[in-house]
Amino acid sequence: MTAAGRIPAERLSWYEATARQRLGALVDPGTFVEIIGPEERETSPHLGIFDLPAQFDDGMIVGRAAIGGRAILIAAQEGRFMGGAFGEVHGAKLTGLLRAARMSRRDVVVLFDTGGVRLQEANAGELAIAEIIRALVGARSVGAQVIGLIGGRAGCYGGGGVIAGCCSTLIASEHGRIGVSGPDVIETNMGVEEFDARDRALIWRTMGGKHRYLIGGADLFVDDRPAAFREATLAALGRGGSLGLDTLVAEQARLERRLARFSDETDAIEVWAALGIGNAEAIPELATREFLLAAAGHRESADEAR
Amino acid sequence: MSGWNAQNDARAERIAAAGRYAAGKVVAPDVLVDFLHCVIRPGDRVCIEGDNQKQADALAAALAAVDPARVRDLHMVQSGIILPEHLDVFDKGIARRLDYSFSGPQSGRIARLLAAGKIELGAIHTYLELLARYVIDLTPQVALIAAVSADRQGNLYTGPNTESTPTIVEATSFKGGLVVAQVAQVVERVPRVDIPGDQVHFLVETGKPFHVEPLFTRDPAAITETQVLIAMMVIKGLYMPYGVRRLNHGIGFNTAAIELLLPTYGGQLGLKGRICTHWALNPHPTLIPAIEAGWVEQIHCFGSEVGMEDYVAARPDVFFTGPDGSLRSNRTLCQTAGLYACDMFIGSTLQIDLQGHSSTVTPSRIAGFGGAPNMGSDPHGRRHASDAWLEAGAQADPATPAPMRRGRKLVVQIGETFGERNQPLFVERLEAVELAERLGLKLAPIMVYADDVTHVVTEEGIANLLLCRGADEREQALRGIAGYTGLGRQRDPKMVEGLRQRGIILRPEDLGIDPLDADRSLLAARSMKDLVLASGGLYRPPGRFRNW
Amino acid sequence: MERMAYRLTAPHPAGGTRRQAIVGVVASGNLEVLVERALPPDVCSVEVATSVRGFGPVWEAVVADFVARRAAGGLRIAINDSGARPDTVTLRLAQAVRLICAEEP
């Protein structure tokens, strides 16, 4: 059972949609079966201590579905509940889903929208991140794909960013952001000269979907529309491959090369220019089609390494 | 010698005294404070351009740095108390008395200073009222203004944010007063002459643009379903039946929602070309989709809006633009237009009492009036007729024979029944009344008076006060749209139902609107990015609104 | 947190056959509404958990109006609220009922 809003899927903005609306628009109609749904009321045992309201699904929806006729497991984070942050139940649901993926060798699609771990459930949340990564790697090691979709308000930060880094494919829109430390944390710790968290153009240049795509931190770049995410997900599901030691070695090498290649650059625009992209300053304003054309042949790719 | 030329003589003397700090008309920024010591005398009436958008920030900072032993007891006359320096001068004893209009960004601090007796308040005015007094009894002796650039003769280019400057300069310069303008650059030739050089006495080249507050930008992403519902009711229940073509929108999310619903919902109702064609309005980004869809014939602007300059310059058939291509705004003229040449004002407020008086004042925050009371009032001096005006007049006063019956401007107050921090919109007693008692004000700061308001709209419905006969009907009409607030729950259900039968209260269902249909998909743009795309990339929102 | 529970007689039973529906998100100024078809057709129950205290009479009035106006009989309604205004609550309740009454695919 889903609760897709009245907005027809073509007009829905992924960024603006709820987790349920995204999920409903992504999968084949009528195929989603929720596991540990809201009616089971598996809510956070911690939030009440802080006088915070719970959400029946604890901001994490998990279940089975089909995309393009292919059976998958799927998880979606609600970015507007507690900033999409991981808590005990929230994390456990994703851990369980990934373990099921390993047992059943089903591919997993994860709709990320998270600021990291909930402060109120810090220990449980951090443990959950670790368990999720282990389960994710376990699923990939038997050949299941784990595809991450990033394009929501909270982005994919903190522990979520680390989990995303373990996925087999990442799909991002321009609104999506991927990182570990958030802008405010960087500014607080390193000073405003290093990173001005009020400079939103800088935030998106540094952590946004376009930049990630250009430096191999995301594999597919899409419009802010469910149809675009769906098309990219179908492409990603077809890729196959499994995680082994050779993948890790290749990725390590890629990251070392990348660091060496761009270590002198101090801003994303310089990185893009170093990639050989002409008129790099215009990148943030380009529409999807023009952006993909500008990126083609220049962007860093992680394909051999994922 | 005195005789009849004392003011001009005094001005000449000040100009001479300041001569050693100026090369021609140009004063260097590093001697600015010394210069001000020469041109301003204790007790002067000084206007610092504190408009509600542009600020003469360099001059404000310098004024706040003068020696209070040399320059003190000033009487400040200014539209806007916006920058901290505008109040620093009172804290430091440089200024003593104040007449002004709008203090939004400083509403907390000015309330504290007034309560502590550090400011002798003349009055809080509307913009137009204060500008009018500049030529009668509040004429500035010194005006500190902001312009984009100047040439050496003092010709000023004020550009899109011309705002009130021509009025300030005219009032000051032609009555023995001294005009000092801060500019980013002194150039060979200004792009256009907004203020002729012989009205300007000194220039200060600051090297950077004057500060501008982005007041009129509202992110469509923040518009709620409730605001969409209210906007639908306004379009179908007010704009359509009255045929409102000429209007002014106050700032806020409610009006932004209306603007974004015109091409979509308004289009579904077949209203293009029949409503909202002529505007007294700042360049609201949320009006871009309607303009692009051909709804708008013409807009006159009070000021500009950060990020809209290129878009406006690309639409000279709609906006007022100069030979340089950019917007020419004029607050004085636009306020007058809103008063006399518009058939409707619609704006938000914080509190409404059971008579219909509304106010945005709370005891701890004094935001002043700005332009709303002018826009939101019925001008008895109007003589030309329009259908909307005549219809409203007929509803208010059916007994008087038509040839003797003036029309009424539609003055609409709009808002959700529970506002910010779940504060109810409807109250027994306005906090403005309490504030007046505390500060010893002669008048409670009412934004729109009950006898000017014609309609109040909430998510529960539209109350048509024109059709109410007597205080009881008014009260129940307001309670009848006050939702679940205390005052709403205490309504007389029978009376309210009777008012609904008579069409004095219109519920969404009465307009054929299902609240479940009021969703954000109706908005012609749902994000800042959508607005940028709608403008063909011409609109450049301020950085704080970016999420790409 | 404040918790309230109401059990009312519902004049009209909810249509459709879906067993449950959920709308909304527990974000500031918003709420989630979970609806389950779990009661006799002439009864409606509403349980509220809210982070904003002191609005009991308002909740009571909103719920009473909702049950009177919408076909809510047979529904067990559970709300997690984060300071939504009454009109948003009314809207979400109506959205939830519409969803549970919607035809199944």
DSSP, collapsed to helix, strand or coil, labels residue B84 as: helix
CATH level 3 topology of A9-178+218-242: 2-enoyl-CoA Hydratase; Chain A, domain 1 (3.90.226)
Report yes or no: A76 and A19 within 8 Å, Cβ to Cβ: yes
What is the rounded CA–CA span in Å between residue B235 and residue B229?
A: 10
Rounded to 5°, angle at Cα A166 from A161 and A172: 55
* Residue B422 C-alpha, separation from nearest chain C C-alpha, in angstroms: 7
Q: In the prediction, which pLDDT does A301 show? A: 87
- Tokens 């507690």 sit at which residue? A82
Which positions in chain A have a beta carbon within 8 angstroms of at least one beta carbon in chain C? 1, 3, 18, 20, 29-30, 37-39, 41, 48, 51-56, 78, 80-81
Length of chain B: 548
Chains that touch B (3 or more CB pairs under 8 A): A, C
* Residue B524 C-alpha, separation from nearest chain A C-alpha, in angstroms: 11
ipTM of this model?
0.95
Number of CB pairs, chain A paired with chain C, less than 8 A apart? 53
Residues B186 and B251 in one domain: no
Q: In the prediction, which pLDDT does B377 show? A: 95
Residues of B in contact with A175 (CB under 8 A): 547-548
Report yes or no: A209 and A274 within 8 Å, Cβ to Cβ: no
Q: Say if the Cβ atoms of A16 and B527 lie within 8 Å.
A: yes
Long-range pairs for B27-33 at CB < 8 Å and ≥24 separation?
B27/B180, B27/B202, B27/B203, B27/B204, B28/B204, B28/B205, B29/B58, B29/B204, B29/B205, B29/B206, B29/B207, B32/B58, B32/B59, B32/B62, B32/B204, B33/B62, B33/B65, B33/B66
* Residue C96 C-alpha, separation from nearest chain B C-alpha, in angstroms: 11
Q: Say if the Cβ atoms of C22 and A38 lie within 8 Å.
A: yes
Q: In the prediction, which pLDDT does B51 show? A: 79
Q: In the prediction, which pLDDT does B412 show? A: 98
Chain C interface disruption, residue of A2, A81, A90, A120, most C CBs within 10 A: A81
Residue B536 sits at the chain A interface (C-beta within 8 Å):
no
Per-residue model confidence as pLDDT tens for chain B (548 residues):
568 999 999 999 999 999 999 999 999 999 999 999 999 999 999 999 987 789 999 999 999 999 999 999 999 999 999 999 999 999 999 999 999 999 988 999 999 999 899 999 999 999 999 999 999 999 999 999 999 999 999 999 999 999 999 999 999 999 999 999 999 999 999 999 999 999 999 999 999 999 998 778 889 999 999 999 999 999 999 999 999 999 999 989 999 999 999 999 999 999 999 999 999 999 999 999 999 999 999 999 999 999 999 999 999 999 999 999 999 999 999 999 999 999 999 999 999 999 999 998 877 888 899 899 999 999 999 999 999 999 999 999 999 999 999 999 999 999 999 998 889 999 999 999 998 888 788 889 999 999 999 999 999 999 999 999 999 999 999 999 999 999 999 999 999 999 999 999 999 999 999 999 999 999 999 999 999 999 999 999 988 889 99
Q: Say if the Cβ atoms of C22 and A54 lie within 8 Å.
A: no
Residue of chain A whose Cα is closest to the Cα of C38: A39
Query: How many separate helices (H) and strands (E) can be counted in chain A?
Result: 11, 7
Q: What is the pLDDT of residues B150-159, one digit of tens each?
A: 999 999 999 9
Q: Which of C61, C85, C95 lies nearest to residue B418, judging by beta carbons?
A: C85
Report yes or no: A23 and A61 within 8 Å, Cβ to Cβ: yes
Under the banding of pLDDT at 50, 70 and 90, the label for residue A303 is confident
Length of chain C: 105
In-domain check, residue B2: no
Residues B181 and B297 in one domain: no
What is the rounded CA–CA span in Å between residue B255 and residue B185?
A: 37
Q: What is the pLDDT of residues C14-63, one digit of tens each?
A: 999 999 999 999 999 999 999 999 999 999 999 999 999 999 999 999 99
Report yes or no: B256 and B286 within 8 Å, Cβ to Cβ: yes
What is the rounded CA–CA span in Å between residue B176 and residue B245?
A: 43
What is the rounded CA–CA span in Å between residue A149 and residue A67?
A: 14
DSSP, collapsed to helix, strand or coil, labels residue A291 as: helix
Task: Tell me how many domains chain B contains.
Answer: 2
Residue B51 lies in domain: 8-210
Residues of C in contact with A48 (CB under 8 A): 1
Report yes or no: B143 and B178 within 8 Å, Cβ to Cβ: yes
Phi-psi region of B464 (alpha: psi -120 to 50; beta: other; left: phi over 0): beta
Residue of B53, B23, B22, B49 lying closest to B36 (CA atoms):
B22
- The DSSP result for C36-102, as a single string, is EE-S-TTEEEEEEEESS-S-HHHHHHHHHHHHHHS--BTEEEEEEESS--HHHHHHHHHHHHHHHHS
Residues of C in contact with B418 (CB under 8 A): 85-87
Residue of B143, B167, B172, B145 lying closest to B74 (CA atoms):
B143
Longest dimension (CA), chain C: 42
Q: In the prediction, which pLDDT does A306 show? A: 65
Q: Which of C57, C87, C98 lies nearest to residue B226, judging by beta carbons?
A: C87
Q: What is the pLDDT of residues B91-117, one digit of tens each?
A: 999 999 999 999 988 999 999 999 899
Q: Which of B519, B537, B546 lies nearest to residue A7, judging by beta carbons?
A: B519
CB atoms within 10 A of CB B240: 17
Residues B69 and B177 in one domain: yes
Q: What is the DSSP letter of B209?
A: P
In-domain check, residue B92: yes
Considering only CA atoms, give the Rg of chain A.
19
Q: Say if the Cβ atoms of A38 and C1 lie within 8 Å.
A: no
Under the banding of pLDDT at 50, 70 and 90, the label for residue A3 is very low
Query: How far does CA B383 lie from the centroid of its chain?
Result: 25
Residue of chain A whose Cα is closest to the Cα of B222: A16
Chain C interface disruption, residue of B224, B414, B422, B519, most C CBs within 10 A: B422
Beta-strand relationship, B455-458 and B461-464 = antiparallel
Chain B interface disruption, residue of A10, A11, A14, A15, most B CBs within 10 A: A15
Work out the burial of residue A191: count CB atoms within 10 Å of its CB; fewer than 13 is exposed, 13-18 middle, 19 or more buried: exposed
Residue B254 sits at the chain C interface (C-beta within 8 Å):
no
Report yes or no: A122 and A115 within 8 Å, Cβ to Cβ: no
What is the rounded CA–CA span in Å between residue C21 and residue A20?
A: 11
Answer yes or no: is pLDDT of A144 > 70: yes
Residue of B336, B332, B307 lying closest to B248 (CA atoms):
B336
In-domain check, residue B547: no
Q: Say if the Cβ atoms of A7 and B544 lie within 8 Å.
A: no
Residues B226 and B201 in one domain: no
In sequence order, what are the residues at sequence separation of 6 or more whose Cβ sits closer than 8 angstroms to the Cβ of residue A5?
A12, A17, A18, A21, B519
Residues B384 and B434 in one domain: yes
Q: Say if the Cβ atoms of C22 and A48 lie within 8 Å.
A: no
Q: Say if the Cβ atoms of A81 and C99 lie within 8 Å.
A: no
DSSP, collapsed to helix, strand or coil, labels residue A90 as: helix
Rounded to 5°, angle at Cα B375 from B371 and B381: 120
Under the banding of pLDDT at 50, 70 and 90, the label for residue A238 is confident
Residues B201 and B182 in one domain: yes
Residues pairing with C20 in the sheet: C36
Residues of C in contact with B484 (CB under 8 A): 58, 61-62, 86
* Residue C33 C-alpha, separation from nearest chain A C-alpha, in angstroms: 9
The domain that holds B45 is classified in CATH as 3.40.1080.10
Q: Say if the Cβ atoms of A200 and B546 lie within 8 Å.
A: yes
In-domain check, residue B520: yes
Under the banding of pLDDT at 50, 70 and 90, the label for residue A74 is very high
Residue of A46, A54, A47, A138 lying closest to A96 (CA atoms):
A138
Residues of C in contact with A30 (CB under 8 A): 105
* Residue C64 C-alpha, separation from nearest chain A C-alpha, in angstroms: 23
Q: What is the pLDDT of residues A91-121, one digit of tens each?
A: 999 999 999 999 999 999 999 999 999 999 9
In-domain check, residue B538: no
Chains that touch C (3 or more CB pairs under 8 A): A, B
Residues of A in contact with B214 (CB under 8 A): none
* Residue C39 C-alpha, separation from nearest chain B C-alpha, in angstroms: 25
| Three-state secondary structure readout of B132-177 | HHCCCCCCCCEEEEECCEECCCCCEECHHHCCCHHHHHHHHHCCCC
The more confident residue out of A270 and A246 is A270
Report yes or no: A179 and A154 within 8 Å, Cβ to Cβ: no
CB atoms within 10 A of CB C64: 13
Q: In the prediction, which pLDDT does A1 show? A: 30
What is the rounded CA–CA span in Å between residue B298 and residue A111?
A: 46
Report yes or no: B279 and B250 within 8 Å, Cβ to Cβ: no
Q: What is the pLDDT of residues C3-17, one digit of tens each?
A: 999 999 999 999 999
Chain B interface disruption, residue of C25, C85, C89, most B CBs within 10 A: C85
Chains that touch A (3 or more CB pairs under 8 A): B, C
CB atoms within 10 A of CB A248: 12
Q: In the prediction, which pLDDT does B1 show? A: 53
Work out the burial of residue B436: count CB atoms within 10 Å of its CB; fewer than 13 is exposed, 13-18 middle, 19 or more buried: middle
In sequence order, what are the residues at sequence separation of 6 or more whose Cβ sits closer than 8 angstroms to the Cβ of residue B37?
B66, B67, B70, B71
- The DSSP result for B457-480, as a single string, is EETTEEEEGGG--SHHHHHHHHHT
Residues of B in contact with C91 (CB under 8 A): 225-226, 515-516
Chain A interface disruption, residue of B520, B522, B528, B547, most A CBs within 10 A: B547
Q: What is the DSSP letter of B3?
A: T
Count of alpha carbons within 13 angstroms of residue A227, beta-carbon side = 5
Residues pairing with C50 in the sheet: C2, C81
What is the rounded CA–CA span in Å between residue B529 and residue B537?
A: 9
Nearest-10 Cα torsion for A135, A136, A142, A145: 150
Q: Say if the Cβ atoms of A53 and C81 lie within 8 Å.
A: yes
Q: Which of B417, B459, B516 lies nearest to residue C95, judging by beta carbons?
A: B516
Chain B interface disruption, residue of C91, C92, C101, most B CBs within 10 A: C91
CB atoms within 10 A of CB C21: 25
- Tokens 């009371």 sit at which residue? B373
What is the rounded CA–CA span in Å between residue A128 and residue A94?
A: 9
